[in-house]
Structure 1
Amino acid sequence: MTELAAVPVTALKGVGAAMQEKLTKVGLENLQDVLFHLPLRYQDRTRIVPIGSLRPGQDAVVEGTVTGADIAMGKRRSLLVRLNDGTGTLSLRFYHFSNAQKEGLKRGTHLRCYGEVRPGSSGLEIYHPEYRALSGETQIAVEQTLTPIYPTTEGLTQQRLRQLSELALARLGPHSLPDWLPEELAKEYQLGPLAEAIRYLHRPPADADIEELAEGRHWAQHRLAFEELLTHQLSLQRLRESVRAQQAPQLPVASKLPAQFLHNLGFEPTGAQKRVGAEIAYDLAQDEPMLRLVQGDVGSGKTVVAAFAALQALEAGYQVALMAPTEILAEQHFINFSKWLQPLGLEVAWLAGKLKGKARAAALEQIASGAPMVVGTHALFQDEVKFHKLALVIIDEQHRFGVQQRLALRKKGVDARLCPHQLIMTATPIPRTLAMSAYADLDTSILDELPPGRTPVNTVLIADSRRIEVIERVRTACNEGRQAYWVCTLIEESEELTCQAAETTFEDLAAALGGLNVGLIHGRMKPAEKAAIMDQFKQGALQLLVATTVIEVGVDVPNASLMIIENPERLGLAQLHQLRGRVGRGSAASHCVLLYHPPLSQLGRERLGIMRETCDGFLIAEKDLEIRGPGEMLGTRQTGLLQFKVADLMRDADLLPAVRDASMSLLQQWPQHVSPLLDRWLRHGQQYGQV
């Protein structure tokens, strides 16, 4: 029997070139793809529900006789059809209708219809139901299975996807869909048969527990979630192996430069910084590339740890590149590293997208001829950037970079032969569940101690009706010699509108706080303008800085002790935590005011309550993951990796330890099963380790 992976969709009845193109858009090229394109949810059309027992919010099939059809004139003209089945009356409302449709729904017509029941002005209503007229005595059977609702794209109807899955299911035999999970593994982890799980999920029987399916607790979902998570794990293990198989420059543990650096630093590193520094130093001395993720809460001193790692490579005579996602953060690093390394006689080069013409040519020349330390944005990835002897790449805020970009760095190593070591830093603590799945290719170190002298930030929730009080609070703080931030968050996800809102807020606050120097910074300003404003704020020439979330990471002004965040309910918890981390960097007691717009939803209240209760980034990250899910939390990182079809990282977190063990067994004992699994689940995502 032919394997379904080898049968193109064009083999199905009714799939011509135009339909094939639409199917390719959603990644359906062969019959295996069609079977793994699983429903998002289900509708129960297996029984007719008496109108008298309907409840708002229910999806139901009802049958009855039309007792009236009138055009109702409200805000919008609509056709209102009354349907009665002897147990009660229901209204069907159509906003888009033709005369022919109105004629077809006249009094006395017998109808069967399906839709969501809502409370309306005439009692319970269904808007735009699916319906068909029933004639005479012919009995039309109800559906025998739950009705699947598939992920779709323009021009692909549910009806069409159901037909295709029906045709593919008809060809599903014992050998047409190989089960790549060996029998021993399936037994060990109590996983049911693959073909049975697929059949069940496309057409659950009428007595299926629709709630269990909605919550993803059914054994068939469990079986496929396990295989999907396993495949992602294998993909990352492959990536890790392919990087580890490369040769890296061996960098002996340094002594001279770190001792000088420590002497100039003026403070003693924390125990956590020393511990993580030692883990990194050991990795750098090996001849295989380091792949280490350093997680540290806001202000735990990751940059100092990065500096120690850089000195180990520099003392061995190699180059180091440090990359940050935004120019404002990259510039911050450039200033810090220049301040630290120049006294040691080490030159620091700078490269960002904004460098043009002669300045750019000069920077490229400086890098190619061996400037020891290079700091920049992702402009460092570009082909024309040639390094002299690159041994270590430090990436800040990794979740903003894709894995593919990280892999491109390989080509930048010594003679394009030795792979640089990679140190990845993030101030967005990553919950364990995510670290085990999305970051399985990395070793992890955690900085879990704050340097002495950092003060916890006191967070309060205040409704925006008390805005004037808050402005007065800012005035008082600034008059006492401290500085403040006022953050305007995204409005309708439009950068342009946010910048306009920030400009308006800036004008209002400058007028209300006459006598204080107020600055403005937002994403549409030129980098030089942003840098100039930040510099004025740092020097204390500005008392209040109105900003969009561009100041989220890396901005360090110890004298700033008050932060106001407008509409905090629009931001994720991790982002709020990052913003709040801009204050509390000095010895003054610091405050963060979350200026929300009431009424807050239940969820909004819960989220902002978490911010008020804790400053622990890891706890906040766990809560954020529970509330928002992984895709959003990781930003753009590995988006290909986290668009799961069946699995859900929060719901299936308990499977991850077993998935990890199973991936190891599979790689060791059944390596020939790995590629077919990657092909089945990840052919259209990025297949890491295939680069």
Structure 2
Amino acid sequence: MNDQILTSPIEYLKGVGPQRAEILKKELGIYNYSDLLNHYPFRYIDRTKFYKINEVNLDLPSIQILVRLKSFEVIGEKRTKRLIAQANDDTGEIELVWFQGISWVQKNLKLNHVYTIFGKATFFNGKTQMAHPELEIYNKNALNKGNLTLQPIYSSTEKLKQYSLDSKGIQKIITGLFDICIPQVQDQLPSYLLEKYKLFNRHQAIQHIHFPKDNNYLKKAQATLKFEELFNIQFRMLKAKMLRTQKFKGNIFNNVGDKFNYFYTNLLPFDLTNAQKKVIKEIRLDTQRGIQMNRLVQGDVGSGKTIVALMTMLLAIDNGYQTCLMAPTEILATQHYHSLKSLLRDDFVSIALLTGSTKKKERRVISENLESGHLLILIGTHALIEDPVKFKNLGFAVIDEQHRFGVEQRAKLWKKNIIPPHILVMTATPIPRTLAMTLYGDLDVSVIDELPAGRKPIETRHLFENQRLRMFGFMKQEIAKGRQVYIVYPLIQESAKLDLKNLMDGVDTMSREFPLPDYRISIVHGQLKPSEKEFEMQRFVRGETQIMVATTVIEVGVNVPNASVMIIENAERFGLSQLHQLRGRVGRGAEQSYCILMSGEKLSKDGRIRLETMVRSNDGFEIAEIDLQLRGPGNIEGKQQSGIMDLKLADLTTDQAILHEARLSVLEIFEKDPNLEMEEHQVLKTQNFNSVTGIMLNKIS
């Protein structure tokens, strides 16, 4: 499109003006002509079908009827005032009622004229009735844009409606915009792709997404714009990946040296699974290519990602480089530190922990050892990316649960060395393939799809509130065997707005049911100071307490092999991925472990599906796919980053085939014409394909 027209401020459009422009900006984020043109209808009403009055039934949504107006009168006063009109067709009569805008409607009604009425029909006092119908005098020759076969319905808000910008008002200003902008619309995709996939050009697609002639035109317009959306995302991702491989060299790890070999031979506490070996081999190959590695490792809870990370860090150390591991919370960072320290034993490799709670004196020692090159592994939180933290030669960085870090935060790690370190991203949240292709399309992906030998699948049970005594009995049985129990609550304190179990009441209940001196309870929640959390966690780790009452602060980062029971209160209120993460806190030892999902009697359809899925399956990838279908891509674990998930039409749960074709098309273009020199690819050069990773590239360059 012509950029000048597209970027024209919305207040300059006829029918908008300064006041309406301000409310459009605040309510819908519409600042210019382009934003308005891309404000698509969210549904359509079929105005091609006319019903008869005797066909009305309560199951029908809004319907359209042709009637002749026979009479109308205003009855009642003030609050009870209403306008009632009688109309009929050849099958019966219908009563039309207005409670608002009475004077304006009455002034415009014309007796004995034929009207098209549209609305939700009901029955009242034995009569067919329609309240506040849309109506216009019927003219079968009217073909203007306001009398469509499929009427677009646009999202609006109460504030917008105060400025007459309901769906019809928005349709009206979009109609005015069409006359200015549609002649300027230019394609964003190569013409051969439009032909290959039988898509509209962009001019036609925009025309028929707003004002489709019929359902076939609408479907083709939707398919075109969905393909374009997904194509552009994949183009940005893969272009960024290509630029990175061209721009950023990578340190070469040629040696598999003493540290790696000694750990593998003497310190590794169990045999690696084939999946772990495969991922280590993939990383090994990446680090020999001379370009910066960016690899995502997906692995279900307990699949052994930490061992993979440690062994690849030892590979970096064998080649003369320092390493770091960044985690999103102090609990998780501390857990990684203790875990790696116990695996490495004594002073086999120097390792330190840096978080917001690290004292100044310790920070000074860490800084000195980092800059001298003596410190080889640094574990930490966001504290790692602070400016004062300087490495002598950082060659390998691991980011755990990376979706919790913003683009700028991750980019700061790249600046910690002249040649950016190799990046290994880990997540214990299984990501459906379609979502991974969209969120992490610029990363190489590895999957650890095997659990270590000896791990038993966790048994999951769903109990209702009236089975609470059974739950207490089961807890006592497990504690009597020497095991420990987690109980997770959705809230810390009672809420007036939410009828949910809360931690403070839970502590009281547990203290009565499990009294001293036979039982001891740890309490962990987000309002505790880091030192208090750590104290409570360590009491549980050492086995000094048998029960940990907590909020979801323990979702990641707690590893107590002796804990065999996870109880989740109000489990129906948690998302599937979060339930799966919480369940993964148990089952880390050789003993049989259990997850008990407590819920109220009344469950929504989605709530029931979530709990049934958890009881049936331990497969994180299957659970993630169902979660994607239930919750939509933008809500899964807060992954809506950098505008990547800001899809206007495409839906990753239903448009997987389109995404696959779009990605293949992009890959073919870069294989055939990486610099976009061919005539048919010139249209792609105008796109801002670096927008997703622009921050990252700018930070380094």
TMscore range, shorter length:
0.7 to 0.9
1:59 is matched with: 62
1:166 is matched with: 175
Task: Write the distance in 1 (CA, Å) between the matches of 2:323 and 2:397.
Answer: 6
Residues 1:306 and 2:314 are matched in the alignment? no
Shift of 1:604: 2.3
Shift of 1:10: 4.9
Deviations 1:660-684 (A, max 9, x none): 12213444245543353347xx97x
1:483 is matched with: 484
Shift of 1:359: 4.8
Say if 1:235 and 1:688, in contact at 8 Å, map to a contact too. Answer: no
Q: Secondary structure at the match of 2:639?
A: coil
Task: Write the distance in 1 (CA, Å) between the matches of 2:440 and 2:522.
Answer: 39
5 Å matches for 1:603-614?
603-614=606-617
Say if 1:488 and 1:498, in contact at 8 Å, map to a contact too. Answer: no
Task: Write the distance in 2 (CA, Å) between the matches of 1:140 and 1:69.
Answer: 37
Q: Kindly provide the amino acid, as one letter, of the partner of residue 303 in structure 1.
A: T
Residues 1:650 and 2:653 are matched in the alignment? yes
Deviations 1:504-556 (A, max 9, x none): 11111211222321222112211111111111111111111111111112311
Say if 2:45 and 2:151, in contact at 8 Å, map to a contact too. Answer: yes
Say if 2:199 and 2:224, in contact at 8 Å, map to a contact too. Answer: yes
Identity of aligned residues (%): 37
Q: Kindly provide the amino acid, as one letter, of the partner of residue 258 in structure 2.
A: K
Question: Residues 433 and 102 of structure 1: is their aligned pair in 2 closer, same or farther, counting only changes over 3 Å?
Answer: closer
Question: Residues 93 and 463 of structure 1: is their aligned pair in 2 closer, same or farther, counting only changes over 3 Å?
Answer: farther
Q: Kindly provide the amino acid, as one letter, of the partner of residue 240 in structure 1.
A: K
Q: Kindly provide the amino acid, as one letter, of the partner of residue 596 in structure 1.
A: S
Shift of 1:441: 0.6
Task: Write the distance in 2 (CA, Å) between the matches of 1:352 and 1:109.
Answer: 80
Q: Secondary structure at the match of 1:484?
A: strand
Task: Write the distance in 1 (CA, Å) between the matches of 2:436 and 2:130.
Answer: 45
1:35 is matched with: 37
Deviations 1:486-507 (A, max 9, x none): 1112599989989981111111
Q: Secondary structure at the match of 1:677?
A: coil
Question: Residues 32 and 604 of structure 1: is their aligned pair in 2 closer, same or farther, counting only changes over 3 Å?
Answer: same
Shift of 1:37: 2.4
Q: Kindly provide the amino acid, as one letter, of the partner of residue 250 in structure 2.
A: A
1:182 is matched with: 190
TM-score (norm 1): 0.86
1:236 is matched with: 237
Say if 1:66 and 1:109, in contact at 8 Å, map to a contact too. Answer: no
Shift of 1:285: 2.5
Residues 1:195 and 2:203 are matched in the alignment? yes
Residues 1:662 and 2:665 are matched in the alignment? yes
Residues 1:259 and 2:269 are matched in the alignment? no
Out of 382, 386, 391, the position equivalent to 2:390 is 386
Shift of 1:31: 3.3
Q: Which region of structure 1 is more displaced relative to structure 2, 46-55 or 580-589?
A: 46-55
Deviations 1:48-73 (A, max 9, x none): 6555414346124567666885699x
TM-score (norm 2): 0.85
Say if 1:568 and 1:594, in contact at 8 Å, map to a contact too. Answer: yes
Q: Kindly tell me the number of residue pairs found equivalent between the two proteins.
A: 666
Out of 246, 249, 257, the position equivalent to 2:248 is 246
Shift of 1:423: 0.2
Q: Kindly provide the amino acid, as one letter, of the partner of residue 233 in structure 2.
A: H
Task: Write the distance in 1 (CA, Å) between the matches of 2:423 and 2:461.
Answer: 39
Deviations 1:369-425 (A, max 9, x none): 44221111123233343332211110111222233432332222x2xx311111011
Q: Secondary structure at the match of 1:143?
A: coil
Q: Which region of structure 1 is more displaced relative to structure 2, 604-613 or 644-653?
A: 604-613
1:436 is matched with: 437
Shift of 1:204: 2.1
Task: Write the distance in 2 (CA, Å) between the matches of 1:459 and 1:18.
Answer: 56
Residues 1:677 and 2:687 are matched in the alignment? yes
Q: Which region of structure 1 is more displaced relative to structure 2, 457-466 or 114-123?
A: 114-123
Residues 1:627 and 2:630 are matched in the alignment? yes
5 Å matches for 1:268-667?
268-341=271-344, 343-355=346-358, 357-360=360-363, 362-370=365-373, 371-412=375-416, 414=417, 417-489=418-490, 501-514=502-515, 515-638=518-641, 640-667=643-670
Deviations 1:594-624 (A, max 9, x none): 1121222233222221111111111111222
Deviations 1:189-219 (A, max 9, x none): 22222211110111123x437xx96xxxx11
Task: Write the distance in 2 (CA, Å) between the matches of 1:345 and 1:314.
Answer: 12
Task: Write the distance in 2 (CA, Å) between the matches of 1:296 and 1:229.
Answer: 26
Task: Write the distance in 2 (CA, Å) between the matches of 1:203 and 1:307.
Answer: 57
Question: Residues 378 and 46 of structure 1: is their aligned pair in 2 closer, same or farther, counting only changes over 3 Å?
Answer: farther
Say if 2:483 and 2:546, in contact at 8 Å, map to a contact too. Answer: yes
Task: Write the distance in 1 (CA, Å) between the matches of 2:475 and 2:366.
Answer: 42
Question: Residues 463 and 88 of structure 1: is their aligned pair in 2 closer, same or farther, counting only changes over 3 Å?
Answer: farther
Q: Secondary structure at the match of 2:253?
A: coil
Question: Residues 520 and 255 of structure 1: is their aligned pair in 2 closer, same or farther, counting only changes over 3 Å?
Answer: same
Residues 1:146 and 2:150 are matched in the alignment? yes
Say if 1:48 and 1:61, in contact at 8 Å, map to a contact too. Answer: yes
5 Å matches for 1:30-179?
30-44=32-46, 49-50=51-52, 52=54, 53-56=56-59, 58-60=61-63, 84-86=86-88, 87=92, 115-116=119-120, 129=132, 143-151=147-155, 155=160, 157=165, 158-173=167-182, 176-179=184-187
Task: Write the distance in 1 (CA, Å) between the matches of 2:432 and 2:44.
Answer: 31
Deviations 1:531-582 (A, max 9, x none): 1111111111111111111111231111111121112221221211111111
Question: Residues 140 and 228 of structure 1: is their aligned pair in 2 closer, same or farther, counting only changes over 3 Å?
Answer: closer
Say if 2:250 and 2:420, in contact at 8 Å, map to a contact too. Answer: yes
Shift of 1:329: 0.9
Q: Secondary structure at the match of 1:627?
A: helix
Question: Residues 657 and 132 of structure 1: is their aligned pair in 2 closer, same or farther, counting only changes over 3 Å?
Answer: closer
Shift of 1:149: 2.9
Shift of 1:637: 4.7
Question: Residues 125 and 364 of structure 1: is their aligned pair in 2 closer, same or farther, counting only changes over 3 Å?
Answer: farther
Residues 1:208 and 2:215 are matched in the alignment? yes
Question: Residues 238 and 406 of structure 1: is their aligned pair in 2 closer, same or farther, counting only changes over 3 Å?
Answer: farther
Task: Write the distance in 2 (CA, Å) between the matches of 1:67 and 1:344.
Answer: 94
Question: Residues 492 and 535 of structure 1: is their aligned pair in 2 closer, same or farther, counting only changes over 3 Å?
Answer: closer
Q: Which region of structure 1 is more displaced relative to structure 2, 542-551 or 139-148?
A: 139-148
Q: Kindly provide the amino acid, as one letter, of the partner of residue 380 in structure 1.
A: L
Q: Kindly provide the amino acid, as one letter, of the partner of residue 167 in structure 1.
A: G
Q: Which region of structure 1 is more displaced relative to structure 2, 38-47 or 438-447?
A: 38-47
Task: Write the distance in 2 (CA, Å) between the matches of 1:603 and 1:125.
Answer: 35
Task: Write the distance in 2 (CA, Å) between the matches of 1:168 and 1:422.
Answer: 47
Q: Kindly provide the amino acid, as one letter, of the partner of residue 437 in structure 1.
A: T
Q: Which region of structure 1 is more displaced relative to structure 2, 300-309 or 140-149?
A: 140-149
Task: Write the distance in 1 (CA, Å) between the matches of 2:74 and 2:394.
Answer: 80
Q: Secondary structure at the match of 1:39?
A: coil
Shift of 1:280: 0.8
Q: Kindly provide the amino acid, as one letter, of the partner of residue 40 in structure 2.
A: L
Question: Residues 7 and 619 of structure 1: is their aligned pair in 2 closer, same or farther, counting only changes over 3 Å?
Answer: same
Question: Residues 427 and 229 of structure 1: is their aligned pair in 2 closer, same or farther, counting only changes over 3 Å?
Answer: same
Task: Write the distance in 2 (CA, Å) between the matches of 1:151 and 1:250.
Answer: 53
Q: Secondary structure at the match of 1:642?
A: coil
Say if 2:188 and 2:202, in contact at 8 Å, map to a contact too. Answer: no
Q: Kindly provide the amino acid, as one letter, of the partner of residue 204 in structure 1.
A: P
Question: Residues 533 and 660 of structure 1: is their aligned pair in 2 closer, same or farther, counting only changes over 3 Å?
Answer: same
Task: Write the distance in 1 (CA, Å) between the matches of 2:77 and 2:470.
Answer: 53
Could you tell me which runs of 5 or more consecutive residues in structure 1 were left unpaired when the two chains were aligned.
none
Question: Residues 192 and 689 of structure 1: is their aligned pair in 2 closer, same or farther, counting only changes over 3 Å?
Answer: farther
Task: Write the distance in 2 (CA, Å) between the matches of 1:537 and 1:633.
Answer: 30
Task: Write the distance in 2 (CA, Å) between the matches of 1:6 and 1:264.
Answer: 62
Say if 1:400 and 1:637, in contact at 8 Å, map to a contact too. Answer: no
